[in-house]
Amino acid sequence: MNKRPLLIVGGLVGLIIVGVVGWWLISPIFVDRTVDEEFPVALSSPETAAQVATPEPTPTAEPTATMEEVAPDVTAAEAAAPTEVPTAVPPTEVPLTPTPSGPVALSLGQFQNGERDYEATGTATLYQLPDGSHLLRFEEFEATNGPDLRVMLVTNPNPTSSADKGEFIDLGVLKGNVGNQNYEIAADVDLSQYQSVIIYCRAFSALFASATLNPAT
């Protein structure tokens, strides 16, 4: 049996597979993907309020006794003396604890270039939303594109390579290498344990960008 046709077909299939994989790995570096997501809730500054306590009723002064009502053993001078009337206590203002009416920025950082000359700019901010959930938002973000890019929260405060990420939480695929975007964070994540945001390429095990998170002022 002539095996030459099978070898040819096998070679062609191999070339196609190599081409597809190569295109998947290399093409994102030359192609930007732009997104522009709105913030999921209205941005507004926290409002404060003050609650004024209900004024206490003014005590009613007792009527002054007349001369006829004075007991026989009370002198006229004592009966004519003015009766002291209790002074009403003025109402006290009781301030309420400030309640955020919108999202609150907890921490933020500026994106820095990654390893291997990968470039990045923009801001990463962790927010607490009015319902108590948390969100990571990128603004004015732009980075070198690549295959299989993931957004991660990491414990290392200053990662400079893929080996520095330490413990991490994977927030999903990078939606775009250019533009504003949002990433939801699971309710059970302890944000105090994570000090940075990174853009990590799983295909090349490379750090494309990082942002150290500092408390928002």
Domain boundaries, the chain: 104-217
This prediction has a pTM of 0.65
Query: Which tokens hold the place of 125?
Result: 């901010």
Residue 50: the pLDDT is 33
Residue 83: the pLDDT is 61
Residue 160: the pLDDT is 94
Residue 88: the pLDDT is 62
Residue 102: the pLDDT is 86
Residue among 82, 91, 90 nearest 62 (CA): 82
Percent helix, percent strand, percent coil in the chain, to nearest 5: 20, 30, 50
Residue among 173, 167, 182 nearest 208 (CA): 173
Q: Please state the CATH superfamily assignment of the domain spanning residues 104-217 in this structure.
A: Superoxide dismutase, copper/zinc binding domain (2.60.40.200)
Q: Which residues of the chain have pLDDT under 50?
A: 18-24, 44-55, 67-68, 70-71
pLDDT in tens, 194-208: 999 999 999 999 999
Q: Residue 20, CB half-sphere, CA atoms under 13 Å: how many?
A: 5
Strand partners, 150: 173, 200
Residue 72: the pLDDT is 52
